[in-house]
Each structure stands twice: as structure tokens, then as C-alpha cells.
Amino acid sequence: MNHNEKLTAELAASKNSPNQRRSSSTGRNGRRESHAKQDQGAFVSEMKGELAVSKEREHSYEAALMEKDKREAELQRRVEESKQREAYLENELANMWVLVAKLKKSQGTETDSSESTKETRRSDGFGGW
């Protein structure tokens, strides 16, 4: 039972308590009874005030919790976007490494063929220009 429900139950109990009913022992023109009613009225007012403050606090906690949940959802969305972006960039990097390997391989083949051409020219006697 939360604090608000507890205060509400106490308030209801105080309204229905036997102490609030008219007592048969009144002294000096009913002063005792009016004094008891004033005490109970003050108690009820105090309980209502505490209940109102407690409800206000509960509403502020709920608002803060909703704001926290909203912020958490936004951050979670950003994390997911970052993960997708990271995966995309890793894929692009892998593709670039494949291209670099292909370029190195093709340059290696061109270099090998040009070197063999030079050697062939030298052996044929056409080299040395």
C-alpha cells in the first residue's frame, strides 16, 4: 500500500471512527464535545494537507519517470543508429581492403610483365637505349 492509500484509509477511518460520534458525557454546555470536534477537524485538515502534498509529490515523481523513460528511449534509438552506422562503415572498410588487394595484385602483375619485357629486350640486344 503506497503512502497516499495509507493516508486515504486513515482519513476514512477517522471520519467513521466512534470518537467522532456524539458522546453522552458532555461537560459545561457541550464544550468538551466542541473541543473534540475541533481536534478532529484539525486532524482531518492535517491529513487532507498531507494527502495533497503526497499526491503532488507522486505526480512529480511520475512526470520525472516519464521524462526519464522518454530520454532512455531516445538514447536507445541513438545507440541502435550508431550500431547500424558502425556496421555500414566496417563493411565499407572491408570493401576498400578488397579493392586495395586487387590494385596491389594488378600492379604486381603489371610490374612483373614490364620487368620481363625489359629482360627480354636486353637479352635480344635491343636494350640499352
Could you tell me if 19 and 40 are in contact, meaning their C-beta atoms sit under 8 angstroms apart? yes
Radius of gyration, alpha carbons of the chain: 45
CA distance 23 to 86: 79
Here the cell at position 117 is 619485357
Every domain of the chain and the residues it spans: 3-18+29-113
Neighbours of 7 (CB within 10 A): 19
At a CB cut-off of 8 Å and minimum separation 6, what does 48 contact?
11
Say if pTM beats, i.e. exceeds, 0.75: no
Q: How confident is the model at residue 16 (pLDDT cuts 50, 70, 90)?
A: confident
Residues 76-101: what's their mean pLDDT? Answer: 98
pLDDT tens per residue, range 96-119: 999 999 999 999 877 666 666 666
